[in-house]
Amino acid sequence: QSVVDGPSRKDWRGGRGAFQNVIPASTGAAKAVGLCLPELKGKLTGMAFRVPVADVSVVDLTVKLSSATTYEAICEAVKHAANTSMKNIMYYTEEAVVSSDFIGCEYSS
């Protein structure tokens, strides 16, 4: 990632000052989700934000559900997956953390 104003072949925003900006960018994360969870292949898109941090990324997942549910039920389902079928792949926490708390985290992104 360019860290000073300069040209970017992929996207003009990518050459802007990384220490001063949150820069929208493309990501392959949505495609990777489709590889890990084949039933989601082609059903989601993604974008990234380049931010001035040393490491770590975040996913903001928005879904349209086929039936009504609650925020608490969704959190519980994600927590359950993190402790069972996605154990050692996905991490779930309700603690007040920041990105640097995950540097060196053994779970995949």
In terms of residues, how long is the chain?
Answer: 109
Does the structure show a pLDDT above 70 at 3?
no
Please classify residue 23 by burial: count the beta carbons closer than 10 Å to its beta carbon, then call 0-12 exposed, 13-18 middle and 19+ buried. Answer: buried
Higher confidence at residue 8 or residue 41? 41
User: In which residue are the tokens 């879904």 written?
Assistant: 63
Helical segments of the chain, H only: 29-36, 71-83
Q: pLDDT tens for residues 61-93? A: 777 889 999 999 999 999 999 999 999 888 899
Mean pLDDT to the nearest integer, 16-25? 69
Specify the pLDDT at position 1. Answer: 47
Is there a contact between 29 and 109 (Cβ–Cβ < 8 Å)? yes
List the domain boundaries for the chain.
1-52, 56-109
**What is the overall mean pLDDT for the chain?**
78
Q: pLDDT band at 8, cuts 50/70/90? A: low
Percent of the chain past pLDDT 90, that is, above it, reads: 22
